[in-house]
Amino acid sequence: MTSPVISVRGLTMGFGGQTLMENLDFDILGGEIFVILGGSGCGKSTLLKHLVGLHKPMSGSITIAGMRMDPGDTETFHRILACIGVMYQGGALFSSMTLGENVALPIAEYSDLDQGDIADLVRLKLRQVGLEGFEHHLPEELSGGMKKRAAIARALALNPGILFLDEPSAGLDPISSAELDALILRLNRTLGATFVVVTHELSSIFTIAGRVIMLDKKSKSIIAEGDPRVLRDTSPHPFVRQFFNRRPEMEA
């Protein structure tokens, strides 16, 4: 069995003394596509931000690639950052920079490559996401799906072993969403990278997810973990069945 690349133990999250989730325990295995899901406002994106070190837990621990996440430990934190890539919700591309400049930014910041090698690497990353030849375009010149692809290219810039994608299909039409799902599956297969995805899009969940966890706002806990197809059909929890079968509460 593949070893965990991320281990979360006793994680409690919250702000201003208010607890959002408590005592979360789960592992993410190397090479899998792992999806974090749940109802609106349950803390999916907040959990992702804890996993990448943007928020500090109220308690508990997060270990990535054998290193404990602690933003206060600058040396270890930077080693962890070298292992991961992040696609933020909405893409978060710099609007004043071309696609090439957006992708080149982390490479120039964290490597000693010269400009020629950086340009070659940028073209490679854009080719990997189907945007070869678009390095001189500004984000405003692209469709929503292309912006998401460009954001993934930037997340891939430093060849990370783990990629975090926050709502990658949000705002896309069904065809663009399906194309993005296919890209995620292809990158997972060809690169062998681990993907951690936050989404509530059922079609994407059933297409890409090997395993999921479902957060529950009421219990402040994980109420389901496993293959989404199995959970849809056999989960004993009413909300889990509602979610996966897209049924309103009155029909549960």
Give me the pLDDT at residue 141, please: 94
Task: Give the separation between CA 81 and CA 50, rounded to whole angstroms.
Answer: 13
Question: pLDDT at residue 35 above 90?
Answer: yes
Question: pLDDT at residue 182 above 80?
Answer: yes
Mean pLDDT in the chain?
A: 92
Question: pLDDT at residue 135 above 60?
Answer: yes
Give me the pLDDT at residue 42, please: 87
Q: What percent of the chain has pLDDT over 90?
A: 76
Task: Give the separation between CA 171 and CA 235, rounded to whole angstroms.
Answer: 29
Give me the pLDDT at residue 212, please: 97
Question: pLDDT at residue 186 above 60?
Answer: yes
For the stretch 224-246, pLDDT in tens is: 999 999 999 999 999 999 999 88
For the stretch 39-58, pLDDT in tens is: 888 899 999 999 999 999 99
Can you give the chain as a three-state secondary structure string? CCCEEEEEEEEEEEECCEEEEEEEEEEEECCCEEEEEECCCCCHHHHHHHHCCCCCCCEEEEEECCEECCCCCHHHHHHHHCCEEEECCCCCCCCCCCHHHHHHHHHHHHCCCCHHHHHHHHHHHHHHCCCCCCCCCCHHHCCHHHHHHHHHHHHCCCCCCEEEEECCCCCCCHHHHHHHHHHHHHHHHHHCCEEEEECCCHHHHHHHCCEEEEEECCCCEEEEEECHHHHHHHCCCHHHHHHHHCCCHHHC
Give me the pLDDT at residue 17, please: 82
pLDDT band at 252 (very low <50, low <70, confident <90, very high): very low
Give me the pLDDT at residue 82, please: 86
Question: pLDDT at residue 113 above 80?
Answer: yes
Give me the pLDDT at residue 250, please: 47
Question: pLDDT at residue 1 above 80?
Answer: no
